[in-house]
């Protein structure tokens, strides 16, 4: 991803997320091609994993993506505004009284318990129109979905089932990131067995990780999520193209002496005369506090024109301090940019350092950052 977009940064901004929509489109094509017999839907929840819902939807629409999954109704409204003709599913809850809002916006609920099914069926019956919805089946994750007992009850309740249009049967893998985990096959069998109870209907089982598990997991619709945004959805898998770079501006350069400490808690003691760069970036921007350093513990590193600059002391709410002693003075100057995520450090790299997962890092990034959208495929910015 080119550094040139930083030249277009607002002079008042302290951090920038550069988001390559061309890479997003390329990742979508790659995931779609892994399951050629299925429609590839996009999961756009959590502000499209932090990159921007409207921008992501418009980019993916150019690749003929027609179906989107979100977590909440408000997210679905944003998708609907960006893609008026798309199919949009809400994953996380359909509540009593919300039927008119879903129907008016042409948004489909994912029904995950009998109570939700009854509410949607009652609304459709009252409206006199069998509106579409997805039915989620519980296959072993114990999070959302109808267990086998409720599925049997529903199949036998023909009046309820006939009041709406089951447009999709779906479930979710618990261990898809571990291809050899026996739970994947167990869940697949449970899904196939439960699906057989229902009248013929399109099915969706594979999230990003499931796409890599092979054809038997693909069914009719795959749901591309984390991998779409350049994350490693399967352990040891080479991720697709990186979508996001994060840069922060140096606010101040100053000197510290051996024996002095840096940051809150005086947790990091300098062992030599040290040139310190303070960046306007912190845990309020998604750079997790545990990525700081202390005596005996290293943390994240920034990069200035390829030169590594390790963090000094704790990550605070708005600021990070880096050791730039060994970096040429012309590069380590007030106002210059430091790469936190990019060519040298991926979202997954930062997550491993933090003891978490790339999903958390990606969706936490840059609420205060300026977002600059580019398309490296075409050279557009």
Predicted local distance difference test score (pLDDT) of residue 1? 45
Three-state DSSP state, 63: coil
* pLDDT score of 38 more than 50: yes
Segment 71-93 shows an average pLDDT of 97
Residue 13 forms part of a structural domain: no
Active site residues: 45, 264
Predicted local distance difference test score (pLDDT) of residue 4? 64
Query: How many domains in the chain?
Result: 2
* pLDDT score of 248 more than 60: yes
Segment 361-372 shows an average pLDDT of 92
* pLDDT score of 376 more than 90: no
Same domain? For 220 and 183 the reply is yes
Out of 180, 201, 229, a domain closes at: 229
Buried b (16+ CB within 10 A) or exposed e, 145-179: bbbeebbeebeeeeebbebbebbbbbbbbbbbbee
Model confidence band, residue 5 (pLDDT cutoffs 50, 70, 90): confident
* pLDDT score of 309 more than 50: yes
Predicted local distance difference test score (pLDDT) of residue 379? 64
pLDDT tens per residue, range 123-137: 999 999 999 999 999
Same domain? For 56 and 158 the reply is yes
Residue 4 forms part of a structural domain: no
Tell me the residue range of the domain where 253 lies: 244-374
Residue 113 forms part of a structural domain: yes
CA distance 37 to 334: 53
Model confidence band, residue 2 (pLDDT cutoffs 50, 70, 90): very low
* pLDDT score of 161 more than 80: yes
pLDDT tens per residue, range 191-207: 999 999 999 999 999 99
pLDDT tens per residue, range 253-278: 999 999 999 999 999 999 999 999 99
Out of 181, 199, 229, a domain closes at: 229
Is residue 228 a contact partner of residue 32, using CB atoms and an 8 Å limit? Answer: no
pLDDT tens per residue, range 99-153: 999 999 999 999 999 999 999 999 999 999 999 999 999 999 999 999 999 999 9
Query: At 362, which CATH number?
Result: 2.40.37.10
Predicted local distance difference test score (pLDDT) of residue 367? 85
pTM of the model: 0.94
Query: At 179, which CATH number?
Result: 3.20.20.10
Q: Is 250 exposed, middle or buried (0-12, 13-18, 19+ CB in 10 A)?
A: buried
Out of 176, 204, 229, a domain closes at: 229
**Lowest-confidence range among 34-48, 50-64, 65-79, 365-379?**
365-379
What does pLDDT average to over the chain?
95
CA distance 73 to 350: 31
Predicted local distance difference test score (pLDDT) of residue 381? 56
């Amino acid at each position: 991803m080119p550094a040139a977009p930083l030249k277009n940064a607002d002079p008042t901004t302290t951090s920038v997320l550069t988001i390559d929509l061309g890479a997003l489109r390329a990742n979508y094509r790659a995931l779609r091609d892994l399951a050629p017999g299925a429609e590839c839907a996009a999961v756009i929840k959590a502000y499209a994993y932090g990159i921007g819902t409207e921008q992501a939807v418009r980019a993916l629409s150019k690749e003929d993506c027609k179906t989107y999954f979100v977590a909440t109704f408000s997210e679905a409204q944003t998708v609907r505004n960006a893609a008026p003709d798309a199919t949009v599913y809400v994953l996380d809850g359909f509540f009593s009284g919300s039927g008119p809002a879903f129907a008016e916006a042409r948004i489909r609920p994912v029904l995950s318990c009998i109570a939700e099914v009854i509410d949607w069926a009652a609304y459709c019956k009252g409206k006199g129109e069998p509106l579409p919805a997805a039915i989620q089946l519980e296959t072993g994750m114990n999070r959302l979905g109808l267990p086998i007992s409720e599925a049997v009850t529903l199949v036998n309740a023909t009046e309820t089932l006939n009041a709406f249009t089951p447009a999709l049967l779906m479930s979710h893998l618990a261990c898809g990131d571990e291809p050899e985990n026996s739970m994947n096959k167990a869940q697949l069998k449970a899904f196939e067995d439960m699906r057989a109870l229902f009248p013929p209907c399109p099915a969706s089982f594979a999230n990003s990780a499931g796409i890599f598990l092979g054809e038997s997991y693909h069914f009719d619709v795959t749901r591309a999520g984390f991998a779409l945004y350049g994350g490693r959805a399967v352990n040891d898998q080479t991720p697709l193209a990186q979508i996001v770079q994060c840069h922060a501006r140096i606010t101040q350069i100053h000197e510290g002496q051996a024996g002095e400490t840096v940051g809150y808690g005086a947790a990091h003691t300098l062992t030599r005369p040290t040139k310190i760069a303070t960046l306007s970036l912190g845990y309020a921007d998604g750079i997790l506090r545990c990525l700081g350093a202390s005596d005996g513990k290293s943390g994240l590193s920034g990069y200035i024109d390829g030169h590594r600059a390790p963090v000094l002391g704790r990550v605070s709410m708005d600021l990070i301090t880096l050791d730039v002693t060994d970096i040429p003075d012309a590069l380590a100057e007030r106002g210059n940019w430091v790469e936190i995520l990019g060519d040298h450090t991926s979202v997954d790299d930062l997550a491993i350092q933090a003891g978490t997962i790339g999903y958390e890092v990606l969706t936490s990034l840059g609420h205060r950052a300026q977002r600059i959208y580019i398309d490296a495929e075409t050279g557009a910015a």
